[in-house]
Amino acid sequence: MQIVTKTKLKEKGQMTIPSKVRSLLNLEPDAEMLILARKNEMVIRPRVVNPLEKAGMLGKEEKVKTIKELIAKYKGF
């Protein structure tokens, strides 16, 4: 699904992401965003959290060195 919409830049440089876009991307309050800026173009993407950053929540991960290994280990949970 693709959504084309518009928003305005506020006085302090803020803008609102329309609710349809937030719903499509499952964005929650305080979601971190990445901005790629080039001449006459800006791309805004949600920051994808590296699962290894959260590995401590699962306990010590033995023999897990890559994201693929971590995902494979917990696939199906």
DSSP for 8-20?
Answer: ---TTS--PPPHH
Select from 58, 31, 24 the least CA-distant residue to 47: 31
pLDDT of residue 67: 73
Cβ neighbours around 6 below 10 Å, total: 6
Host domain of residue 58:
48-77
**Spatial distance between the Cα atoms of 14 and 10, rounded to a whole number of angstroms:** 5
Provide DSSP, 15-41.
Answer: -PPPHHHHHHTT--TT--EEEEEETTE
Mark whether 5 and 30 lie in a shared domain: yes
- 29 and 53 co-located in one domain: no
4 with 34, same domain: the answer is yes
State the pTM of this model. 0.58
Pair 65, 28 in one domain = no
Q: How many domains does the chain have?
A: 2
Each residue's pLDDT expressed in tens, for the chain with a length of 77 residues: 889 999 999 999 999 999 999 999 889 999 999 999 999 999 998 887 766 666 555 556 677 777 777 777 777 65
